[in-house]
Amino acid sequence: MTVTRTLPSSVSVPALYVAFELGSKGWKLGMTSGLSVVPWVTGVAVADWTAIGRVLERAKARFGLPAAAPVVSCYEAGRDGFWIHRAVVQLGVDNRVVDSASIDVNRRQRRAKTDRLDARKLVMKLVRVCLGDRDAWREVHVPSAVDEAARHVSRERTQLTQERTRVINQLRSWLATYGAVLPTRRPVGWWLQVWDWAGAVLPAPVQARLERAHERLQIIEAQLTTLTQTQRAAVKAAAADSPLRRLIQVKGVAVTGASVLLDEGLVWRDFRNRRQVGGMLGFTPVPYQSGEQARDQGIDRAGNSRGRALSVQLAWRWVQWQPSSALTQWFQRRFGAAGPRARRIGIVALARKLVVALWRYVTTGIVPTGATLKTA
């Protein structure tokens, strides 16, 4: 997403450019004052902001910059998240968080790579971006502290759901090795009532393992119930015209789906157009054209994987619960009579259109054409 900034856009405006190369034991700072100036790289201890402030002052003196010269910094998004961004901003620095996958690298079979070299290359990229080269990289939209914290509920629920599926699949696989099946109803002690292919009870070590897995499953179920109640409470506490209440009013969109879309940034990312919405989900088309060769490589899948997976699920539900909507009718005309493979391709296109329509609905109140809202 492109963000408007008031940054130095000409070499006539002196500024210090800083790139943070983050490590678990120390940080490297690459600094320069322009494209023609050789970067200076030095190291500091992790999160030693006092030392970083002294280094910035030394860098300004080294490059002949005034003490009041603005400082522009960047670092690659990764394990450390956004707390470094907030700490740097408190120092009066204009910081950017960079998508690591968008940075070009040397495609030779072997290339030199060290933290020092990476800091030098990153700071020169920063200078290019500040001078107007928008294609040098892609930046990550930094959420507010409140929005970032709110994501933990829906993300934990997704993780627990996957963990529940994993445990159930383990139970099935363990029982399959004895010719048994997992019962649908599983009260306490169910593993004692399961027989193998010969009609004998399962061995004691197997029963003990099934018991421990059942206990883990009960813990997961209890935590899922707690998170579900938390999400429902958030819906009740939300204002009637809030994005969350608007989304769940649409038939086919449940509380969980609405929570994930909003937590992953359907609103707080401040999209400007539908292309940015599709880019956030990784639905951007990737054409390939070279000389006489031309083909479509599909979507780039470079966006938010959780939002992308959920949007596809919502698209299938939309076809089921919103048959009279314009989006469903478009899908049925294009892919309704096609085979399963074509429908799987078409549902991705529908997912992109659907999320764009839902984004417009929660931000402007425009209901998707032909969509049905839930009755109160």
Residues 373 and 324 sit within 8 Å (Cβ to Cβ)? no
- Express each pLDDT in 321-355 by its tens digit: 999 999 999 999 999 888 899 999 999 999 999 99
- Express each pLDDT in 231-251 by its tens digit: 999 999 999 889 999 999 999
- Express each pLDDT in 49-76 by its tens digit: 999 999 999 999 999 999 999 999 999 9
Q: How many helices (H) and strands (E) does the chain have?
A: 11, 7
What is the structure's pLDDT at 376? 61
Say yes or no to pLDDT of 158 above 70. yes
Strands of the sheet with 16-21, listed across from one edge: 40-44, 27-32, 16-21, 71-76, 94-98
Say yes or no to pLDDT of 208 above 50. yes
Q: Give the residue from 281, 344, 283, 350 showing the smallest Cα distance to 318.
A: 350
Whether pTM exceeds 0.75:
yes
What is the structure's pLDDT at 95? 96
Please identify which residue in the block is written with the tokens 């909507």.
Answer: 325
What is the structure's pLDDT at 113? 84
Q: Rg (Cα) of the chain, in Å, rounded?
A: 27
Residues 66 and 45 sit within 8 Å (Cβ to Cβ)? no
Q: Give the residue from 78, 373, 114 showing the smallest Cα distance to 252.
A: 373
Mean pLDDT within 260-268: 92
Reported as a pLDDT band with limits 50, 70 and 90, residue 101 is: confident
Answer with the residue of higher pLDDT: 2 or 124: 124
What's the 3-state SS for 14-59?
A: CCEEEEEECCCCCEEEEEECCCCCCCEEEEECCCCHHHHHHHHHHH
Say yes or no to pLDDT of 11 above 60. no
Residues 160 and 220 sit within 8 Å (Cβ to Cβ)? yes
Reported as a pLDDT band with limits 50, 70 and 90, residue 125 is: very high
Task: Say which range, 32-41, 198-207, 294-303, 359-368, has the weakest mean pLDDT.
Answer: 294-303
Question: Can you read off the two tokens belonging to residue 257?
Answer: 């789906």
Using a 10 angstrom Cβ sphere, with 0-12 exposed, 13-18 middle and 19 or more buried, the burial of residue 322 is buried
Residues 271 and 359 sit within 8 Å (Cβ to Cβ)? yes
Say yes or no to pLDDT of 4 above 60. no
Provide the 3-class DSSP secondary structure of residue 10.
coil
123 φψ region: left (φ > 0), alpha (ψ -120 to 50), beta (else)? alpha
First to last CA, the chain: 37
Q: Give the residue from 88, 60, 56, 76 showing the smallest Cα distance to 122.
A: 76
Check residue 202 and report its DSSP letter: P
Question: Which run of H or of E encompasses 64?
Answer: none
Answer with the residue of higher pLDDT: 85 or 288: 85
Reported as a pLDDT band with limits 50, 70 and 90, residue 290 is: confident
Q: How many CB atoms within 10 Å of residue 80?
A: 15
CA angle centred on 44, ends 39 and 45, rounded to 5°: 155
Reported as a pLDDT band with limits 50, 70 and 90, residue 102 is: confident
Reported as a pLDDT band with limits 50, 70 and 90, residue 1 is: very low
Question: Which run of H or of E encompasses 293?
Answer: strand 293-299
